[in-house]
A and B are shown apart, each in its own frame.
Chain A
């Protein structure tokens, strides 16, 4: 599975958009980009995933560059409850879902 690189931490003002970047320059053609988040002491929570096209759901938007070497998770209107560690993962959906979690980005949403 491709390695991903994320900033260790980020701050965002409440009500503003949070843009979380992720580099995955060695991603292969059939690897998806997944985003999860983990609020302190809870189990990780699935947010969104995509292969090539941009994706949007009720939680967030995922923007994947055309060369697929990087992506951005966008939380359009961050709230205090979005404070969490966000994990970007590149993985094969058809290999038993063995997703390898890295260190993630610690997002702090401030009033």
Chain B
């Protein structure tokens, strides 16, 4: 299994408070992603990173920011949490093929972080 650790695994917070979720990998993979999963919507990409300090937006990036200061860590921040951000958040990683910049599309997912915003 890929070495991916998400923290916290469960969090309950109140509307308007800042929240940071952490994804830590031990695989030295180049690419990292944050998805959210909600009933009726499936998995939706929030932000992704293709290297240290290189990030880009996904499908549902509003209200979220990310940072990647080290290869192994990808942080997802909700500056002011809202009830609509109650969800299960998954981090994923992937590697390039044969040392090239081509991403194989084989994602390895973490176990998820369940966030409840009251």
Which residues of A pack against B, CB within 8 Å?
32, 34, 36, 41-46, 49, 87, 91-104
Q: Closest residue of chain A to B106, judged by CB?
A: A46
Which residues of B pack against A, CB within 8 Å?
31, 33, 35, 42-45, 48, 50, 56, 58-59, 90, 92, 94, 97, 101-112
- Contact of B58 with A98 in the complex, beta carbons under 8 Å: yes
| A97 touching B31 in the complex, CB below 8 Å, given contacts A46-B106, A49-B106, A102-B42 | yes
Please count the residue pairs between chain A and chain B whose beta carbons lie under 8 angstroms apart in the complex: 66
- Contact of A44 with B90 in the complex, beta carbons under 8 Å: yes
Pairs across A and B, CB under 8 Å, 10 listed: A43-B110, A44-B109, A46-B106, A46-B108, A87-B43, A92-B105, A97-B48, A99-B45, A99-B105, A103-B42
Give the most central of A49, A87, A94, A95: most B CB within 10 Å: A94
Q: Could you tell me the dominant secondary structure of chain A's interface residues? A: loop
- Contact of B112 with A97 in the complex, beta carbons under 8 Å: no
Complex CA gap A103/B109 in Å reads: 17
- Contact of B103 with A43 in the complex, beta carbons under 8 Å: no
| A44 touching B48 in the complex, CB below 8 Å, given contacts A96-B31, A100-B59 | no
In the A-B complex, list the 6 residue pairs whose CB atoms are closest, starting with the nearest.
A43-B109, A101-B43, A97-B103, A93-B105, A94-B102, A97-B105
